[in-house]
Structure 1
């Protein structure tokens, strides 16, 4: 059971890091530090968007329209933190 806990914790940590890279990269692209005409940057950005957009879409439908401000990554950060730091350890403690 402990192995399953560690695997779930690792997956949530990886999801957190992927989301963090996506947010930082979006800032760097918007402030024109990164250029999407560079093939490596464009391919990483496209891959991250393909990975995260299906997750963002249902969150965006539930949130109010805030114009250019996208709150979906923030909500996803909160969900991952709650799962990783609160629910998963409590679930592990209840199993023991």
Structure 2
């Protein structure tokens, strides 16, 4: 179940990054503040390796980047498959 927990944490990080970007876009958070820049940098370092690979195959639609949604759905499918496989393995 460690894999499932890791996937859940990674999905949470992606969601936090999305929310931070929205808050910056709506000027709730100032993008130039050091705290925001540090947080964005950290989140980007954690998510960009996966996002960049998926972004090659998922073009933006109407200026909307659907990559996080695709990654989250993909991770949930992977988590489901791994869970089903592990449930079949006798302990």
2:52 paired residue among 57, 74, 86: 57
The answer to whether the 8 A contact 2:60-2:66 is kept is no
Write 1 or 2 for the structure with the bigger share of helix: 1
**RMSD (Å), alpha carbons:** 1.4
- Output the CA distance in 2 between the equivalents of 1:65 and 1:80: 20
Gaps of 5+ in 2: none
Number of aligned pairs? 90
Q: TM-score, normalised by structure 1?
A: 0.84
- Output the CA distance in 2 between the equivalents of 1:38 and 1:95: 50
User: Is 1:20 the counterpart of 2:15 in the alignment?
Assistant: yes
Secondary structure at the counterpart of residue 56 of structure 2 = helix
- Matched with 2:86 is 92
1:83 paired residue among 63, 78, 85: 78
CA offsets per residue over residues 56-75 of structure 1, 9 Å max, x none? Answer: 11111112343521011010
- Output the CA distance in 2 between the equivalents of 1:81 and 1:59: 15
- Once the two structures are TM-superposed, the CA of residue 10 in structure 1 deviates from its matched residue by 1.2
Secondary structure at the counterpart of residue 62 of structure 1 = coil
Gaps of 5+ in 1: 1-5
